[in-house]
Amino acid sequence: MRFKQIIKTTLISVVLLEVITSVVGSEVPRSSVDDKNRGLNIKYRVSNNVEDGAEEDNRAVCEKKSADVVIIGAGYAGIRAAVAIKEEAPDLSVVVLESSNRIGGRAITSKIGGYNVGLGPKWLNEGDSAKRTPTLDLFDEYGLNYVVDDALNMTAFTFSDACTTGKDTGRRLSNSSKLKKAYALLDRVKQDSVIDYSTKKRTVDFLETAIDRKLQNSCVVDQVSQEDIKNYQNRFQNQIMDCVIKKAKKAWANDKSYDDEQGALYEYINCGYDDTDSLEFLMKWFWHDFEFADATGSIYAVFDPWEVSGEAYYTVDGGYAPAIKKYAEENKIEPLFRHRVKSIRYNIRKEDSDVRAGVTVKTNKNKCIFYESQRVISTVSAGVYNNNLIKFKPKLRFNEKKFNPMKINRYLNIWYQFPTKFWEETANQTHWIYTLRNENYDGVSLNWQNLDREGMYPGSKILVLTLVEEGFVKVFGKKYRKEKLPTRKLMKLLNPLKVVFGDKYKKPIKTIYNRFHGDRDFGFGAYSHWDKGYSPYDYFKFWGGYDFGDYINPCNHNGCNGRPNKPNTEWILYLSGAASCLELYEWVHGAWYAGEMAAYLMMESLGIELDDWKGNHPCYES
Ligand SMILES: Cc1cc2nc3c(=O)[nH]c(=O)nc-3n(C[C@H](O)[C@H](O)[C@H](O)COP(=O)(O)OP(=O)(O)OC[C@H]3O[C@@H](n4cnc5c(N)ncnc54)[C@H](O)[C@@H]3O)c2cc1C
């Protein structure tokens, strides 16, 4: 894409400067005007009268600053939006406001036992044959490592309820010959045509009761055979997923206002998913719950995560954070840290001025600043809107409650580092270790990712446990919002490992976990998924960044906040971020493209002409 022509941009800056100067007189300190990245960063305090658009906060009048474009958030979307503007319209002044003190947003690196791990996103996609993902390019450019993820490489153990209820403290790996013999005998009796009916019934009842009792009262651990795993995987992927995806496609094609849908879980069951079979539960957990951080959700959202976007890679140099930090540095994007946006105003009209919007910020020093601008791009997560953590003035026409299907979910990762690799004997090079109760199974302590593998973090002795929304609620309760998790609970989650590995199991020496559940900057959750009961119309009305021709009326969405009755939107306020890219929502490369698209649409709305990008943009295409 090439920058062709800029209409107004320099003019806008000059006019803005003049307007502000005329308001405050010529003594305006110009100390920060020279800050390239912040553009018209004019700093002054309004004395007695509050300016149009300026906010009062704790009775103190906000300091006032300006920029052509305000971007909220320094994650992948915000940084890409800032760079895209720099590339195409370098004369526009841009300020990036970030609540935390770092670049990356949900991409965060941490250390355990000397190993850099990504606390947020970790998987990287190749892209399809037409388009390589830009995030993969970044990793290559900066020499950051990743390995092919053999997603289906798993070892699974099942165990009976008695292993955890304390009825039986012993642990037996039951290739249990006694049980097998009992089952074989039962089969023979059932098929025998010689024994009379009542003897047969009595014998069958006796054997079944004995088997039940044995299963209930003894702790039996089984390693699921690789053949069984493959069979379950094949059935789930080829029959159930295939069927559910067809239903999703049909929902999109046939009924775009399907408000009373039954939800994804209902459709899985309709497609033959048997939730009374523990191994089938495991497959569904892996294919759906683990990907979407949610066991249910909407049929509109279902796709096969292991089939889309080409090869999946696992990042091993601290996840996604280093790449976006380097990209921001290289492009000289310097966000203003510890600047938390409290409210967004997007209806400012000043005569002879291009100012249309403004955001009120609280800094860590409790200072209030009002940034006025022509345009605002918000890249905060859906969770921030879900919890009304930013106020809109005026209220959004298509508001959060009624129209936004994207609901934030919890996705807790806990890294445990052990003194020994006690799983070596049985699951040495497998990627996933599953510990699954035969009955009363749930998504708690189910899925352990083995990082101690060639190409990953060999020698690390680290397993990562994941709990998604339902499992999280089960352990910590529905309303849990503290960042710190109770140590007792973190240790209790290890019980299935003790059961499965018996005497070999050793207590962890280090534990870390991600804290999205307790962080308001992410709306108290990790990433969002399409909730049931919302139609695509709702989605478009809330997020607004699409032009589907007749599908959604122009100007009938939140992005259309220009002059009333103006046929084309002005995009004064643009709700961007990963949740806003329909085709790729909540992927990191989706966030990248979402920020890019916001920047393009916004620049076009300022009269800046760009090469045609719409036909070839992953977020813009339907
Ligand atoms: C645990 C986890 C695992 C994931 N796994 C993967 C994966 O494997 N692969 C993948 O592709 N994707 C994954 N994702 C999703 C991916 O991380 C996100 O979709 C993507 O990083 C979002 O980028 P963003 O820029 O849209 O938003 P964010 O990264 O959330 O950036 C928004 C920024 O806004 C800031 N902010 C919030 N409120 C305010 C405010 N009021 N004022 C100022 N600033 C504010 C935040 O601090 C943040 O820096 C995962 C996410 C999580 C949490």
Higher local confidence (pLDDT), 101 or 533? 101
How large a percentage of the chain has pLDDT more than 70? 84
Q: Which atom of ligand 1 approaches the CA of 591 most closely?
A: 26
Residue 342 burial (10 A CB sphere; 0-12, 13-18, 19+): middle
User: What phi and psi values does residue 274 have, to the nearest 5 degrees?
Assistant: -105, 100
Local confidence band at 552 (pLDDT 50, 70, 90 cut-offs): low
CA-proximal residue: ligand 1, atom 19 (nearest) = 586
Residue 587 Cα to ligand 1 midpoint, Å, equals 9
Residue 522 Cα to ligand 1 midpoint, Å, equals 7
Residue 526 Cα to ligand 1 midpoint, Å, equals 8
Q: Which atom of ligand 1 approaches the CA of 578 most closely?
A: 26
pLDDT at position 179 is: 72
Q: Which atom of ligand 1 approaches the CA of 587 most closely?
A: 11
Local confidence band at 169 (pLDDT 50, 70, 90 cut-offs): low
pLDDT at position 569 is: 62
- Contact yes or no for 124/133 (Cβ under 8 A): yes
pLDDT digits (tens, 9 = 90+) for 185-200: 998 998 898 889 899 9
Between vectors from CA 241 to CA 235 and to CA 244, what angle results, nearest 5°? 135
Q: What is the mean pLDDT of residues 450-472?
A: 97
The residue type at 96: V
Q: Which residues line ligand 1 (CB under 6 A)?
A: 72-78, 97-100, 105-107, 120-123, 340-341, 379-381, 384, 390, 411, 514, 516, 521-522, 526-527, 577-578, 586-588, 591
CA-proximal residue: ligand 1, atom 13 (nearest) = 121
CA-proximal residue: ligand 1, atom 48 (nearest) = 105
pLDDT at position 217 is: 74
Local confidence band at 304 (pLDDT 50, 70, 90 cut-offs): confident
Query: Which phi-psi region, left, alpha or beta, contains residue 306 (left: φ > 0; alpha: ψ -120 to 50)?
Result: alpha
Residue of 588, 593, 596, 619 to test ligand 1 pocket, by largest number of atoms within 8 Å of CB: 588
What is the DSSP annotation of 443-458? SSS-EEEE--STTS-T
- Contact yes or no for 99/363 (Cβ under 8 A): no
Q: Which atom of ligand 1 approaches the CA of 390 most closely?
A: 41
Average pLDDT of every residue of the chain: 86
CA-proximal residue: ligand 1, atom 29 (nearest) = 105
Q: Which atom of ligand 1 approaches the CA of 577 most closely?
A: 26
SS3 at position 3: strand
pLDDT digits (tens, 9 = 90+) for 397-434: 899 999 999 999 999 999 999 999 999 999 999 999 99
User: What phi and psi values does residue 60 have, to the nearest 5 degrees?
Assistant: -85, 140
- Mode of pairing for the β-strands spanning 462-468 and 411-417: antiparallel
Q: What is the mean pLDDT of residues 80-95?
A: 98
Checking if the pLDDT of 611 tops 90, the result is yes
Query: Which phi-psi region, left, alpha or beta, contains residue 503 (left: φ > 0; alpha: ψ -120 to 50)?
Result: alpha
Q: Which atom of ligand 1 approaches the CA of 135 most closely?
A: 11
pLDDT digits (tens, 9 = 90+) for 13-53: 333 333 333 333 333 222 222 332 333 332 222 222 334 44
The residue type at 72: I
User: What phi and psi values does residue 591 have, to the nearest 5 degrees?
Assistant: -65, -45
Residue of 369, 376, 527, 584 to test ligand 1 pocket, by largest number of atoms within 8 Å of CB: 527
Residue 301 Cα to ligand 1 midpoint, Å, equals 19
Torsion of Cα atoms, 566 then 568 then 571 then 572, to 10° = -20
Q: Which atom of ligand 1 approaches the CA of 594 most closely?
A: 26
> From CA 274, how far away is CA 149, in angstroms rounded?
28
Which two three-digit tokens encode residue 75?
Answer: 């994650």
Which CATH architecture does the domain made up of 3-104+322-406+529-616 adopt?
3-Layer(bba) Sandwich (3.50)
The residue type at 288: H
Q: What is the mean pLDDT of residues 93-99?
A: 98
CA-derived radius of gyration, the chain: 28
Give the position of tokens 């696992």.
314
pLDDT at position 4 is: 26
Which two three-digit tokens encode residue 173?
Answer: 């790996």
Q: Which atom of ligand 1 approaches the CA of 384 most closely?
A: 38
pLDDT digits (tens, 9 = 90+) for 230-247: 999 999 999 999 999 999
Local confidence band at 130 (pLDDT 50, 70, 90 cut-offs): confident
**Among 152-166, 382-396, 437-451, which stretch is predicted with the lowest mean pLDDT?**
152-166
CA-proximal residue: ligand 1, atom 20 (nearest) = 588
Which two three-digit tokens encode residue 539?
Answer: 């989605």
Checking if the pLDDT of 550 tops 80, the result is no
CA-proximal residue: ligand 1, atom 38 (nearest) = 521
> From CA 303, how far away is CA 332, in angstroms rounded?
37
Higher local confidence (pLDDT), 455 or 468? 468
- Mode of pairing for the β-strands spanning 172-173 and 220-223: parallel
Higher local confidence (pLDDT), 174 or 230? 230
